[in-house]
């Protein structure tokens, strides 16, 4: 029988709480969502952007929660016969629990940040490190002020490798998170024009990303993208933060880990690389040159964490792009099939260019077409119109045949498009649904991408509903 995640006593000591009611001896998991809570989980009643967890405490207890971590000033509103650990602030107590989880483990820890590719890089690290030992990693994109401490609090004591994703929208957000994680290795995938509305310049974004150095363990390693324009600034900021060990990755000669030969195929890539002086040939089970570059960072981290490089290289063949982040689904249409590339989770200028490049790399059997369905990129500030209009270059480079645009910002691109490749424009994504469904033809490669608030996901769902996936299991 495996060890419980937390004993009652250890949980109470870490959170500094007070027990009330018949709290179970063992805690088998940590949850902040009563809908997905498993019996034995501790339920943490945090105050979110839209919901207050205290409103769902009764449901969590009914679902079999071992205890509910609740605020002292809300206990009067909760069931009298509940099982509680009472604290001043449940989110702060969750942070303390995360710090305690980090303190008790001997795991080697890696943290990932960057403007683009955090989640896919985190998932690649999980895949690679699982070949060498017990891995604990963030689920989904749990990379913010509650996601990071929650992931830490869920980390078993016997974890051998911990993988954490750390995100930010504003300066100062990464520092408190990385000081909890205390990584041995820190990766910055790249720095690009993302969240410009809050920063004003890419250099300020670089400085915010460089906060990841603040929590790096003594003699820790920073892994940086040598091809990125902000590379020199990041090196300087690492030095200022006292980081003495910097490793680099990229596709240009001079990086510590470099791709020497790359072959891009539909749905995957083959790479011949030097990883910190070791030759390695490997296959990536996901399409796109951006994945090639990020796997160089992943494999560099594997070496620095003391895991097996050869086994990690083999593991990358199992890498897949998740739903909303490049997932490819083959759909049945009249006369044949189409390939749907789902990039609907989010968008910024760098990720939009990467997604369009994937479309350009995809083989198309005529009369099929390369189709791009593009929604607004949010949080770009006063440069928004220009950055949308500049997408005309990657659209042309990808030889896209038809472009559909959604959202007021994307009108700047629509104005730049040659009439021959204009599909349709709508102020809202849902306005494209009927036209898109009616104009699909056999052989098409259709890529859908936009910021989450633009709601491009329902377009993906509409296509899957209208045209059944060839492989229902893969599409599920």
Does 464 count as an annotated binding residue?
no
Closest listed residue to residue 420, CA positions, set 437, 398, 401: 401
Does 209 count as an annotated binding residue?
no
Q: CA 115 to CA 464: how far, in whole Å?
A: 30
pLDDT beyond 60 at 474: no
3-state class percentages of the chain: helix first, strand second, coil last, to nearest 5: 40, 25, 35
**Residue 1 confidence class, pLDDT cut points 50, 70, 90:** very low
Does 120 count as an annotated binding residue?
yes
The total number of residues shown for the chain amounts to 476
Does 288 count as an annotated binding residue?
no
The pLDDT mean for the chain works out to: 94
As a whole number, mean pLDDT of residues 432-446 equals 96
Between residues 435 and 1, the one the model is more confident about: 435
Domains of the chain are 6-87 (3.40.1390.10), 105-318 (3.40.1190.10), 327-475 (3.90.190.20)
Does 116 count as an annotated binding residue?
yes
Q: CA 275 to CA 223: how far, in whole Å?
A: 12
Phi, psi for 313 (deg, rounded to 5): -60, -40
As a whole number, mean pLDDT of residues 425-439 equals 97
Say if CB 409 and CB 347 are below 8 A apart.
no
Percentage above 70 pLDDT, the chain:
97
Does 117 count as an annotated binding residue?
yes
Cβ partners under 8 Å of residue 473, min gap 6: none
pTM: 0.85
Q: CA 155 to CA 131: how far, in whole Å?
A: 18
- 16-56 pLDDT tens trace: 999 999 999 999 999 999 999 999 999 999 998 788 999 99
Handedness of CA 207, 210, 214, 215 (dihedral sign): positive
DSSP track, 173-236: SHHHHHHHH--SEEEE----S-SHHHHSSHHHHHHHHGGGGGGPPTT-EEEEETTSTTHHHHHH
Does 270 count as an annotated binding residue?
no
Q: CA 140 to CA 473: how far, in whole Å?
A: 20
- 107-127 pLDDT tens trace: 999 999 998 889 999 999 999
């Amino acid at each position: 029988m495996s060890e419980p995640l937390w004993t009652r006593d250890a949980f109470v000591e870490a959170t500094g709480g007070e027990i009330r009611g018949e709290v179970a001896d063992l805690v088998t998991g940590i949850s902040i969502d009563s809908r997905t809570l498993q019996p034995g989980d501790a339920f943490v009643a945090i105050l979110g952007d839209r919901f207050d967890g205290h409103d769902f405490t009764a449901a969590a207890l009914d679902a079999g929660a071992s205890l509910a971590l609740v605020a002292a000033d809300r206990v009067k509103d909760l069931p009298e016969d509940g099982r509680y650990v009472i604290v001043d602030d449940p989110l702060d107590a969750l942070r303390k629990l995360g710090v305690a989880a980090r303190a008790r483990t001997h795991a080697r820890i890696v943290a990932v940040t960057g403007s683009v590719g955090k989640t896919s890089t985190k998932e690649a690290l999980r895949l690679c490190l699982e070949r060498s030992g017990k891995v604990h990693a963030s689920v989904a994109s749990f990379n913010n002020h509650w996601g990071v401490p929650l992931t830490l609090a869920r980390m078993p004591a016997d974890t051998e490798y911990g993988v954490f994703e750390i995100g930010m929208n504003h300066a100062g957000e990464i520092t408190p998170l990385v000081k909890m994680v205390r990584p041995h290795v820190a990766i910055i995938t790249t720095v690009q024009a993302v969240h410009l509305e809050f920063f004003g310049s890419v250099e300020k974004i670089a400085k915010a990303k460089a906060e990841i150095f603040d929590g790096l363990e003594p003699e820790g390693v920073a892994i940086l993208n040598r091809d990125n324009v902000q590379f020199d600034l990041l090196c300087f900021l690492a030095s200022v933060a006292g980081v003495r060990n910097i490793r680099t990755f990229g596709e240009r000669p001079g990086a510590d880990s470099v791709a020497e030969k790359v072959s891009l195929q539909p749905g995957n890539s083959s790479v011949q690389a030097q990883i910190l002086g070791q030759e390695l040939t490997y296959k990536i089970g996901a399409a796109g040159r951006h994945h090639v570059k990020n796997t160089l960072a992943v494999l560099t981290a594997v070496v620095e964490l003391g895991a097996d490089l050869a086994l990690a290289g083999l593991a990358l063949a199992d890498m897949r792009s998740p739903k909303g982040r490049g997932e490819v689904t083959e759909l049945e249409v009249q006369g044949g099939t189409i390939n749907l590339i789902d990039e609907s989770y989010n968008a910024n200028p760098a990720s939009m260019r990467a997604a369009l490049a994937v479309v350009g790399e995809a083989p198309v059997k005529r009369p099929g077409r390369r189709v791009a369905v593009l929604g607004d990129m949010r949080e770009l500030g006063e440069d928004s119109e220009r950055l949308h209009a500049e997408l005309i270059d990657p659209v042309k480079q990808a030889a896209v045949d038809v472009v559909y645009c959604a959202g007021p910002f994307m009108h700047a691109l629509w104005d730049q498009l040659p009439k021959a490749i204009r599909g349709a424009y709508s102020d809202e994504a849902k306005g494209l649904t009927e036209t898109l469904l009616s104009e699909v033809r056999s052989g098409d490669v259709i890529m859908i991408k936009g910021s989450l608030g633009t709601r491009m996901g329902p377009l993906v769902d509409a296509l899957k509903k209208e045209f059944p996936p060839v492989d229902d299991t893969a599409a599920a």
